[in-house]
Amino acid sequence: LSTDRLQVAVLGASGYAGLELLRIVLRHPRLELAAATSEQRAGQPVGEAFPSLRGLTSVRFEALDAAALAGRADVAFSCLHHGTAAPAVTTLRKAGVPVVDLSADFRLRDLAAFEQWYGPHKAPELFGQAVFGIPELHRAELPGAGLVAAAGCYPTSALLPMAPFLRGGLVEPGPVIVDAKSGVSGAGRSLDEQYLYAELAENVKAYKVANHRHVAEMEQEASLVAGRPVGVTFVPQLLPVIRGIATSVYLRPAAKLTTDDARAVLEEAYRGAPFVRVLPAGETPSLQAVRGSNFCDVTAVVDARNGTLVALAALDNLVKGAAGQMVQCLNLMREWPETLGLLEAPLVP
Amino acid sequence: LSTDRLQVAVLGASGYAGLELLRIVLRHPRLELAAATSEQRAGQPVGEAFPSLRGLTSVRFEALDAAALAGRADVAFSCLHHGTAAPAVTTLRKAGVPVVDLSADFRLRDLAAFEQWYGPHKAPELFGQAVFGIPELHRAELPGAGLVAAAGCYPTSALLPMAPFLRGGLVEPGPVIVDAKSGVSGAGRSLDEQYLYAELAENVKAYKVANHRHVAEMEQEASLVAGRPVGVTFVPQLLPVIRGIATSVYLRPAAKLTTDDARAVLEEAYRGAPFVRVLPAGETPSLQAVRGSNFCDVTAVVDARNGTLVALAALDNLVKGAAGQMVQCLNLMREWPETLGLLEAPLVP
Amino acid sequence: LSTDRLQVAVLGASGYAGLELLRIVLRHPRLELAAATSEQRAGQPVGEAFPSLRGLTSVRFEALDAAALAGRADVAFSCLHHGTAAPAVTTLRKAGVPVVDLSADFRLRDLAAFEQWYGPHKAPELFGQAVFGIPELHRAELPGAGLVAAAGCYPTSALLPMAPFLRGGLVEPGPVIVDAKSGVSGAGRSLDEQYLYAELAENVKAYKVANHRHVAEMEQEASLVAGRPVGVTFVPQLLPVIRGIATSVYLRPAAKLTTDDARAVLEEAYRGAPFVRVLPAGETPSLQAVRGSNFCDVTAVVDARNGTLVALAALDNLVKGAAGQMVQCLNLMREWPETLGLLEAPLVP
Amino acid sequence: LSTDRLQVAVLGASGYAGLELLRIVLRHPRLELAAATSEQRAGQPVGEAFPSLRGLTSVRFEALDAAALAGRADVAFSCLHHGTAAPAVTTLRKAGVPVVDLSADFRLRDLAAFEQWYGPHKAPELFGQAVFGIPELHRAELPGAGLVAAAGCYPTSALLPMAPFLRGGLVEPGPVIVDAKSGVSGAGRSLDEQYLYAELAENVKAYKVANHRHVAEMEQEASLVAGRPVGVTFVPQLLPVIRGIATSVYLRPAAKLTTDDARAVLEEAYRGAPFVRVLPAGETPSLQAVRGSNFCDVTAVVDARNGTLVALAALDNLVKGAAGQMVQCLNLMREWPETLGLLEAPLVP
């Protein structure tokens, strides 16, 4: 293993996922931060714009110029919004730079589905070319990949507990119910009244009930793993929490299944997956136990009286739901150890 | 309307539900606090034990002596735990004192179900005699009732959004899924590590998955209103919130049903119910909008693509889920205006 | 006591202080909400704009027209910003409507000081005419007053614990240190990044250190009560709390003073003041004990080793620091019982 | 630099500071966790007792046996309580094991002062032998030291902003006022009602006003650096925050001093101190910017009108206030780079 470091560009680096990438890149033994873009803060040293990073890097934010970045970066992470990401990613890919993109621009395989939720695509020639970036579901496709579309935070939190049961046909066809609760950093630094402390603290509220666009990703990947179309009723809720998503998935077992069986299914599926921890019987995932880390904790409980399988997950939306998963994808693209730079213990309490 | 005030005894008055009762009794125009019991704080003035109440009452906590209270109280609210409540309630009832009891001792109608969850019953002669205390479901039984078993906070939050759909046979048989998130005051003032600020803040965690005893109440009342046995898969979760329960109920419509239809069902069901607010289309219940109040806000959304009906509710677990509902029951027992002492606006922000 | 209700107009009613006024006016036995102004929400029913108030009032927000309001209102509360308040208040006063104003426009007596902090005054003819609205300091001036300038939240929290010691010359000349911590509702519903949940939760930060304009009010009133110029070093800090201000005031006793002496000074000063609660020895004010109420809890401790007097206070910035104090002022202006509509118990927990 | 790792024992490893030590030791390139003691959890794997650490270590908690540990550990960190720490530390020191101790047992130099606050000392022969563990104040004494008494969290937060001004005689004799606000993890995992989420959220409260035992450390070190006795009036307050201390220190300049001068004093004092960040003019320390990190951010503002110098600091009480500072001390004891294992970026947001 050489100790040379790859030069990394982070696009859209001043949002919450971008900041988290900076945090991880700064400690990753094979990466060196070469550039960080932000339209709003262009010219400002990163450590001035974000006091937490004072003294940790001398990089300055710069305006986005994908062509110029292509000459300076060995690899790029993009945290740009959908629509903005597509052309920048295209430029980088044309110049041969491997890209891990966090936007929705390259996650879907059905252009009609994309356009229904997001409008016209800005780089249709690359559409459908990316590896869907949940390594636990697409590990074999990652080594050497040029474009990875890192999954959304909600889809990651729903698919990891759900996929093993769909895969084996262990559950009946019929809609899957996903009741998910997210910390507010998932909404980024949006200046919207509902995200103010005085509005959100001591509050919880569902939004976009059965109408959130992440459902398209969930259904695509759930159907892929199940080998049949799977519908998802998705109810997202906003929590008075900075980081973290806790997700309950409700399924109907196709045959008799005990809680022990269900846990065994998860353990079998995630043997060898260093970031998915299947909890021992009697424990449930908590946001605390994954805070600041790339872990996704999962478990399953069968309500035998009613024939319901409850699969639960918790992850940090900015790490396993965003920046951490992006770095995990890169590690696998480069055939580095999957956990490189990512094994930091969660921040507890 | 005479302005005489009933003399009120609050049993178990130093827990969170008891404190909330004191708060409401102190402002209720027809009630006067005559006694407040607390084993732990017996002898202490209420306003010393709880600095928030300093200057608002001269009552002292006293040890529980139900027989003596029977001579001083026109009516009693009991916030004692199950098991402790039953004998005290029996003494008061034998002396002719109307009682609204918040414990589980008198909520169920099936003694076997009670004993499965709570162990041997301490006052079997009164078992099954109480009116189940959700006024919106049992209004006709309340006037003149002598014993009311106020419903649990979770069951109230699940039954109010669910009942109108079960009642009309609008949903298919099959288990109802109840995904509920509760503020920590629902656990009372228990000294358990998981309730410490440093453990609970920024955290969310499911517990007693499909194994919480409130499921018995939910199934009893859901079955009663549906006219057939209804199973409930109930997943409670603890939130970093002081007060409030947000509940998602998942049902399967028996026939085509739009979101507008579903909301109309709720509106029809709760016309004339002053504390259940059916929200306009596009709005969802929030803990904030009911904080400190006796309101339960509800709505329903149909996921037509997947044939799922999502019914949502939010309430304050200490008010509509406990003390407020108890006073609402008493108002109806006495045939006073249902809203007497209970129309305080929520504390927002 | 007649039971006629005064018709009340609330100007700037959609901000946090305005909303709190609506909450109090709706329960006040002598007041009836006649009008609520909001430029942004004009035309919307109050109960639609603010779901917490759904079902509690049929009033609609309207655009501000002070002249028209003068014909419909017996009394007005203004929560308009400084600069906007002055002309509206002037119109109302010319029409003979008594006004309690929460802006800074009429709090100061020194026009130069006002203009230093706030710029040119918009209604200089009324400047200096208002009673400073902390009833505990200016009770005698309130009956019959036409214009009251309700004090700011920080000054109220600093002056109540400080004034009794300045009044009797019990402390040495020299600057008073005021270290105050405020919940975020004090900043209103401002869309500023620092007030986002993800930025403010788990955070605390000082701002405008020794440079916050509330210092002018504090020094004015401190000097008035001391009978000599008193300087105040004021350090405000933002807390991850919705409501509440906790303030530490540091003074130097002029002569030997024990903690018991200091508490006796406070008790003597606030005998007969129903909303200032002097805590027993060994207890300290907490935000919890005053949440949602008009109480200000105070105490004092002497550090005899070092010759420092520490006076502490806690209040709810939206009640005793704003809306509640405004209603308290009105009660005294009308010579009603001081506590009318204001004795609601704090929301605990 | 050899890459051999020292075998580390963590005593009292299941408390919050101990857990944080595990988190840091697990990532430190020169340390290997050899033992972790906990009476309550002896026998349990660390990753079972604390789900956040699942998969990160195979160490099991064990009961404390200092003599046995001496044979297995190259170095020890003790997070035992005062009284319990002294004998264990003595055993380890006699066996030649270097120890960094977080208790109060070895911080003070005046035995009478120790006994006044903590009672009889359990290992008087070692009393007064330790280096006081704030590296920025005692850097020269650390290389090769055998016993370091890591400072308390409050004293660290007060002394770092205060010391540079005392050192040069820049401030007048007279008591220093320290108004400090701490997150609740500072109290450990104590099962006390006041630390429950429902009691502490949305609350702030002063405690042990001018009577907290950390004042002894503050006065000892302040006097040492000033070269004269310095009294400290210390008012600690509990915040609804998991981690972090924000401290305001109030001093009186001995001569004319501007804010720029004051900041220059801090910059000069902390040039070369990698963990103390002097903020640029106009910025103030925040808990967010140091969360999870070993940084202490400081600044100073002069209130020229009143002749007050306000020095402010923020740090994470579990890192720079405990575990991080302990590792920083060890790095210096071993003459490793001071920042080894400690340069992780703060967790923002």
For the segment C301-327, what is each residue's pLDDT rounded down to a tens digit? 999 999 999 999 999 999 999 999 999
Amino acid sitting at position B225: V
**Residue C20 burial (CB count, 10 A):** 29
* Mutation to test the B interface, candidates D192, D197, D204, D245, most B Cβ within 10 Å: D197
Listed by number, the residues of chain D in 250-269 with a beta carbon closer than 8 Å to a beta carbon of chain A are none
* CB atoms C206 and D240 under 8 Å: no
Nearest to B349 among C16, C279, C293 (CB): C16
Q: What is the dihedral of CA B6, B11, B17, B19, to 10 degrees?
A: 70
What's the rounded Cα separation, in Å, for the pair D181 and C239?
10
Widest Cα–Cα separation across chain B:
62
CA dihedral for D71, D75, D79, D84, sign (positive or negative): positive
Q: Measure A146 CA to nearest chain B CA, in Å.
A: 35
CB contact under 8 A, A241 and B240: yes
User: What element of type H or E holds B159?
Assistant: helix B153-167
- D232-266 pLDDT, tens digit per residue, is 999 999 999 999 999 999 999 999 999 999 999 99
Nearest to C306 among D199, D209, D233 (CB): D233
Contact list, C199 vs chain D (CB under 8 Å): 288, 349
The residue behind tokens 């596009």 is B282
Res D19 pLDDT > 90: yes
Chain C contact set for B203 (CB, 8 A): none
Do residues B197 and D200 lie in contact, with contact meaning Cβ atoms separated by under 8 Å?
yes
| Predicted TM-score of the model (pTM) | 0.97
- D196 CB neighbours in chain B (<8 A) are 184, 189, 191, 195-197
Q: Please, which residues 5-64 of chain D have a Cβ atom closer than 8 Å to chain B? A: 16
Residue D198 with chain B: CB contacts under 8 Å: 16, 183-185, 189, 195, 242
Secondary structure (DSSP) of A134-148: -HHHHGGG-TT-SEE
Using a CB-CB cut-off of 8 Å, the residues of chain D touching A344 are 27, 344
Residue C199, chain D, CB below 8 Å: the answer is yes
How far is D205 from D240, CA to CA, in rounded Å?
10
Rounded-to-integer distance, Cα D126 and Cα D99, Å = 12
pLDDT tens by residue, C216-231: 999 999 999 999 999 9
pLDDT tens string D45-104: 999 999 999 999 999 999 999 999 999 999 999 999 999 999 999 999 999 999 999 999
A289/D54 Cβ within 8 A: yes
Residue B72 neighbours by CB under 8 Å, 6+ apart: B7, B9, B34, B35
Reference C26, options D202, B339, A97, B228; nearest CA is: B339
Q: Which positions in chain C touch D284 (Cβ < 8 Å)?
A: 205-207, 209
Residue D40: pLDDT band (50, 70, 90) is very high
CB contact under 8 A, D198 and B185: yes
Contact A193 C198 (CB under 8 A): no
Mean pLDDT of chain B: 97
Task: From chain C, pick out residues whose CB is under 8 angstroms from the CB of A191.
Answer: 191-193, 196
Among B54, B283, B345, beta carbon nearest to C26: B345
Distance CA A295, CA A290 (A): 6
Contact C310 D233 (CB under 8 A): yes
Mark yes or no for CB contact C181/D177 under 8 Å: no
Cα–Cα distance measured from residue A253 to residue B336, given in angstroms and rounded to the nearest whole number: 50
Question: Which amino acid type is present at position B155?
Answer: P
**Over 70: is that where the pLDDT of D158 sits?**
yes
> Cβ contact (<8 Å) for B197 and D192?
no
Residues 6 or more apart in contact with residue D45 via CB below 8 angstroms:
D58, D59, D60, D61
Rounded to the nearest angstrom, the minimum Cα separation between D335 and chain C is: 34
D79 an active-site residue? no
Shortest CA distance to A293 belongs to which of A8, A15, A27? A27
To 10 degrees, the CA torsion angle through B175, B179, B183, B185?
20
Q: Give the pLDDT of residue A2.
A: 47
Q: Checking phi first, is residue D144 left (phi over 0); if not, alpha (psi -120 to 50) or beta?
A: left
Q: What is the pLDDT of residues C81-118, one digit of tens each?
A: 999 999 999 999 999 999 999 999 999 999 999 999 99
How far does A197 lie from chain C, in Å, by closest CA?
Answer: 4
SS3 C314: strand
CA distance C296 to C291: 10
Q: Using N-to-C axis directions, what is the helix angle for A16-27 and A324-333, rounded to 10°?
A: 50
Against chain C, the chains showing at least 3 CB pairs within 8 Å are A, B, D
Asked if residue D123 has pLDDT above 80, the reply is yes
State whether A292 and D288 contact (CB < 8 Å): no
Between vectors from CA C266 to CA C264 and to CA C269, what angle results, nearest 5°? 110
Report DSSP letters for C56-67, one per residue. Answer: T---BEE---HH
Task: Encode chain C (349 residues) as per-residue pLDDT tens digits.
Answer: 445 899 999 999 999 999 999 999 999 999 999 999 999 999 999 999 999 999 999 999 999 999 999 999 999 999 999 999 999 999 999 999 999 999 999 999 999 999 999 999 999 999 999 999 999 999 999 999 999 999 999 999 999 999 999 998 999 988 999 999 999 999 989 999 999 999 999 999 999 999 999 999 999 999 999 999 999 999 999 999 999 999 999 999 999 999 999 999 999 999 999 999 999 999 999 999 999 999 999 999 999 999 999 999 999 999 999 999 999 999 999 999 999 999 999 999 9
Asked, as a colleague might, if the bond just before C349 is cis with ω within 30 of 0, I would say yes
Q: From the candidates C213, C215, C235, which should be mutated to test the interface with D, based on the most D CB atoms within 10 A? A: C235
Contacts B288 to A, Cβ<8 Å: 199, 202-203, 205
Cβ distance D317 to D185 under 8 Å? yes
Q: Measured between CB atoms, does D289 come within 8 Å of chain A?
A: yes
Q: Does D297 touch chain A (CB under 8 A)?
A: yes
- Which chain D residue has its CA at the smallest distance from C193's CA? D349
Count other Cβ atoms within 10 Å, centred on residue A119: 10
Residue D1: the pLDDT is: 41
Burial of D36 per CB tally in 10 Å (0-12, 13-18, 19+): buried
Q: From CA C177, how far away is CA C179, in angstroms rounded? A: 6
Residue B3's Cβ-count burial label (10 Å; 0-12, 13-18, 19+) is exposed
Q: Is the pLDDT of residue B2 over 60?
A: no
CA B63 to chain centre: 25
pLDDT of residue D295: 98
